[in-house]
Structures are given as C-alpha cells and as structure tokens.
Amino acid sequence: MATLTASQFNSTGNISGLKFNDINANGRLDPNESGLPNFTIYLDINNNGSLDFNEPANITNNFGGYLFNNVPANTYVIREIQQPGFFQTTPTPTVNVTPGSNLTNINIGNSENVNNRGSISGIKFNDTNTNGRLDPGENGLQDITLYLDLNQNGFFDEGEPPTITGVNGEYSFRDLPPNTYILREVSPPDFDQTTPDPILNVTPGSNLTVNIGNVSNRGEISGIKFNDTNTNGRLDPGENGLQDITLYLDLNQNGFLDQGEPPTITGINGEYSFRDLPPNTYILREISPPGFATTTPDPILNVTPGSNITNINISNVNNRGQISGTKFNDTNTNGIFDPGELGLSDITLYLDLNQNGFLDEGEPPTITGVNGEYSFLDLPPNTYTIRENQAPNFDQTTPDPIINVTPGSNITDVNIGNVSNRGQINGIKFNDGNANGILDLGENGLDNFTLYLDLNNNSLLDIGEPATITDEFGFYSFEDLPPNTYTIREVQKFGFSQTTADPVVDVTPGSDINNVNIGNFSEFLFNSLTAEASPIVATDNSSNLGFF
C-alpha cells in the first residue's frame, strides 16, 4: 500500500459513514441502532494499527457520523481508536478512493452490550473411571497449574496466562481477548490426563466451561487376609481377619520377599493395601505364618493407571487341626454317650503314632478333665489312632477312634466309652418264716450271718475267698468282682436251716446284680423243712449295670 505525502493530495474523493451501536453484534446497521459519538476514526495510511502524526483523523458527531473530504485517490484502511467497554463488530474497512469518488455508508459497528472479552473456566478433576467425564463422586484436583499455550509449543512459557486450580479443582481464565486458545497443564507427578488438551475459540463475551480430567497413573490393591475356617476360599460371614501377616508383591516372581519388593502387614481385622503402584502386572504373595496354609491361589493382578482394585481377599486356614470329645462311663455298654452317663476323669489318652498299642515317648498324651473332657490341639494333618492307658478295672466299650485330621479341622464329639470290668452282687439274708424260699411281706432280715463266695466250690470258707456279714437288716453285698460265675454260700448258724438253694451268679463287666435273697428259718419254730432244688441266679430285670 502506497505511502502518501501532503504534496500528493490532488484528484481527491470523499469517504463518509456512521459509527453505530451494533446492539445485537451482528455486524450490520439495523433499524433502531443509533450512532456513537466521540469515536476517533482515522485513515491508517501506513497500516500499522496506530494513529500516527499527519494521518487524517475525524471524531464522530452526535449522530455517529464521520467524513473525510478531499482525500487523494488511493486505497485506505479505516480504523478507530477503541474505547473501553466497546469492541468492533464489523471488519476493518479497506476502501479504494478514485478521483471524484464519494464513498458513503462506510459504516463501522461497535457494541457496548457484549463484553469484548471472554473467559474460560471449569474443574480439574480426578477421573477415577478414566471415561473423560466429570461424574458424580469424582473429586477436583487442587494446586495444578493450567496455562494458555499461546505459541502452541507444548511448554509453559513466559507471558502465557497461567492459573492454579483451587481446593475443589476449580480454575478460570478471565478477560481474554477473542482468539483460539489451547489449554494445557503442567502435569503433576504420577498423574496422566484423560481428556485431550482443549482447543477453545473465545469470542467476545463468551464464557466457556471446560472440565479437564486427570487420573493417577498409579494404582492400588486392597483386601482382607482372613481365616477360611470352612476352606472354601471365600470370605464368609463369621470368618475373621488375620492380623500381622506379611504380604508382598513378588516383582521377580521367585516366590520370595526380596529387597525392593513392596511389603505390607495386615491390620487388626486382616485388612491390607498396596498404594501408589506403577501400572504393571503383580503377583501377590504372603509369608505364611507357622501353622497356616493358604486356601486361595496367589492373586495375579493387572494394575492400570488410576485403578483401585479392591476385595482381593486372601484366605488362610490353620494347617493344624484338633480332636476333642468325652471319656464317659458307658453304663449300658451300648458304645453311645447317652443322657445320664457321666464323664470319667483322670484317664490318659494318647495318639498312637507308631500303632504299637503303647504310649511311647513323643506321642501326644492328654488326661481327661473332671467331666471326662479331652482334646488334642495343634495337630499336623494326618490320620491318628486314639488309645487309652486302661484304667484299672475298666474296659473300653468303643473301638479305638481312627481320625483323619485335615488343615483347620476341628473334630469334636469323639466320645470314648468305658465301663467298669468289675461287678457286684447284693441281696438280703431273710427269715423265711413260711419256708417257701421267697422273701415275703413281713419277713425280716437276719443279721450277723457270714456269706462267702465259694471260689473252689468245696462248700467251705477258705482263706482268700470273699466273705461278708449281713447287717442289722440282713443286707449283704459283694463288690469289685472280676467277671466270673460265683456260688454264694453261708456259714450255717446253729438252729437255722437254709430254705433257698445256694445262688449261682454270673457276674459280667459292670453288672450290678440285686435281690439275690437267701432264706433261712429257725428250727426252734419248725420241726422240718422241705428243701428245694438249687436255682442258678442270673441278672434279671432289676439288675443295674454300671460303674461303682
């Protein structure tokens, strides 16, 4: 474009127009849009964007009109001096003045109803699900620097507008001239952006809202180390966490916790976590505590940026087991612990590891408690035979239990029956007044009669043969008798004759044989007695089997 000097002003033309208030900012002079007075309009002869000395200028009149008369033929750029609160809504006019031309309606619009600056605002947020959207529950990220990359070189340079996100991740750029901006961030350590750098066209008065997502490029793993009492590999209601167990990420996959591999120790409820993990695939292992074995495989976990992998629950079970039960007095010898049957205390039970039937050194023993209760705890998985050191005068009524102990098993109610291997006999020596051999109502006992068990069956009371003397009611008893068949005889008293045959009694283990009654009558009251055949007395319905 040519530069004019004052001597070149000849062959002139005119330029005129209106500086108008472009209320709707559409760049056209619409009806009811009025002129703007006191705007300086000038011909930018050197096209430098500034009003220089000797460049023609004009101030709009009260109606917004301006006029340049006698302008030398040339091409001119018509500019204005911007006034605060206004922006130009029409392109800067370029006009061609020819000799004698009169260029009119070169109208220039300005608007005071629309701010000629714009703004950008939004939230820098933690995009935990990495979907690029600000979702409910996703929080803002504080203290992150954002900037407008004016030269588009990808770096924050001097003179480029910055801002720092607030406590909730909020940010804003205000009073921006209309332009196209690229919004970038100074990425914080361990975070990646989940949305592209926004490219934003700021127009006069625009207020753009743009949320920018970031996600930690680290991840985390968490869960519970629990006591899998039913060994099903799942954390079930009632299963408790295991405290103070070391877990680690086996980076080199050698099955050992090596220096530099991340460890953690489970909390009071078995909870654990690994945080700030770079994206990778991890094998999670444990240092198994003594007496415990895992019931779930070692988890293999793919950690991606921002991932929060939860409920990686790892089960352990005590790899020891236990056996418990009751040593009981099996009074009815049925091998079942029935109501009313009592426990037997102070009996030694043991696990016969070498199956030789003896309690050897190193074999676990236990002694039954006051109610016959016993237990073997902390047993390695194995098959065990439980035996007892037989108590004197007792026999076992149940076979030796053979128990398979598995990891974590708690085997209860392994009850072992015993019964006294001794028996007893009791009855009454009575005055058989009618000599019928039966203890009838009104017949009294005879005291001070000596009865004995005729072991050699010679009808004499010999040394070593059990003897007893009837009490004031005629009652007698023989107790603690080994199983055998016994003949009960009496040492005959002068003036008495026996009216019942000598009882022959079969004593079995634990038997309590009652009502073995023996009749006598006084020869002073009767002249004769008819003897009866000797019966063999055995246990009847009134017998009571049990321990004594």
> Per-residue DSSP letters for 451-476?
EEE-TT-SSS--TTS-EEE--TT-EE
Question: What is the architecture of the domain spanning 423-522?
Answer: Sandwich (2.60)
Q: Which of 227, 197, 232 is nearest to 212 (CA)?
A: 197
Mean pLDDT lowest for which of 25-34, 70-79, 219-228, 432-441? 25-34
Question: What is the architecture of the domain spanning 117-216?
Answer: Sandwich (2.60)
pTM listed for this prediction: 0.43
Residue at 171: amino acid letter: Y
Using CA atoms, how far apart are residues 51 and 33, in angstroms rounded to an integer?
27
Round to the nearest angstrom and report the end-to-end CA distance of the chain. 135
According to DSSP, residue 252 is labeled T
Q: What percent of the chain has pLDDT over 70?
A: 93
Mean pLDDT computed over 273-296: 90
Cα torsion 130, 133, 134, 140: sign: positive
Q: What is the pLDDT of residue 10?
A: 57
Strand partners, 405: 382
pLDDT tens-place string over residues 130-153: 899 999 999 999 999 999 999 999
Q: What is the pLDDT of residue 524?
A: 64
Mean pLDDT (the chain) is 89
Using CA atoms, how far apart are residues 186 and 189, in angstroms rounded to an integer?
9
pLDDT tens-place string over residues 3-47: 445 444 458 999 999 999 987 778 899 998 899 999 999 999 999
Domain 321-419 matching CATH 2.60.40.10: the answer reads: yes
Using CA atoms, how far apart are residues 426 and 446, in angstroms rounded to an integer?
14
Using CA atoms, how far apart are residues 58 and 50, in angstroms rounded to an integer?
14
According to DSSP, residue 138 is labeled P
- Residue 548: pLDDT over 70: no
Distance of CA 252 to the CA centre of its chain: 28
Question: What is the architecture of the domain spanning 221-317?
Answer: Sandwich (2.60)
pLDDT tens-place string over residues 408-437: 789 999 999 998 888 899 999 999 999 999
Using CA atoms, how far apart are residues 350 and 358, in angstroms rounded to an integer?
9
CB atoms under 10 Å from CB of 38, counted, come to 11
Q: Which of 118, 206, 194 is nearest to 161 (CA)?
A: 118
CA–CA–CA angle 441, 444, 447 (5° rounding): 155
Q: What is the pLDDT of residue 89?
A: 84
Residues 6 or more apart whose CB falls under 8 angstroms from that of 25 comprise: 89, 109, 111, 113, 114, 204
Confidence of residue 165 (pLDDT cuts 50, 70, 90): very high
pLDDT tens-place string over residues 352-381: 999 999 999 999 999 999 999 999 998 988
Q: What is the pLDDT of residue 8?
A: 47
Mean pLDDT computed over 216-226: 92
Domain ranges of the chain: 12-114, 117-216, 221-317, 321-419, 423-522
Mean pLDDT computed over 386-410: 91
> 131's torsion region: left (phi>0), alpha (psi -120 to 50) or beta?
alpha
Using CA atoms, how far apart are residues 413 and 345, in angstroms rounded to an integer?
16
Residues 6 or more apart whose CB falls under 8 angstroms from that of 178 comprise: 87, 116, 117, 118, 202, 203, 204, 206
Q: Which of 288, 276, 291 is nearest to 314 (CA)?
A: 288
Q: What is the pLDDT of residue 304?
A: 87
Using CA atoms, how far apart are residues 296 and 228, in angstroms rounded to an integer?
9
Q: Which of 271, 262, 273 is nearest to 244 (CA)?
A: 271
The answer to whether the beta carbons of residues 76 and 58 sit under 8 Å apart is no
| Residue whose token pair is 């001239």 | 177
CA torsion angle 130 134 136 138 (round to 10): 60
Q: How far is CA 45 from CA 75, 95, 129, in A?
A: 9, 12, 59
Q: What is the pLDDT of residue 455?
A: 97
- Residue 327: pLDDT over 90: yes
> 47's torsion region: left (phi>0), alpha (psi -120 to 50) or beta?
left
Q: Which of 266, 263, 220 is nearest to 241 (CA)?
A: 266
Using CA atoms, how far apart are residues 422 and 520, in angstroms rounded to an integer?
29
Confidence of residue 113 (pLDDT cuts 50, 70, 90): low
CB atoms under 10 Å from CB of 417, counted, come to 24
Strand partners, 146: 163, 185
Confidence of residue 536 (pLDDT cuts 50, 70, 90): very low
- The CATH number corresponding to 12-114 among 3.50.50.60, 3.30.70.260, 2.60.40.10, 3.40.50.720 equals 2.60.40.10
Residue at 10: amino acid letter: N
Question: Token pair of 422, please?
Answer: 């001794």
Would 12-114 and 423-522 be classified into the same CATH topology? yes
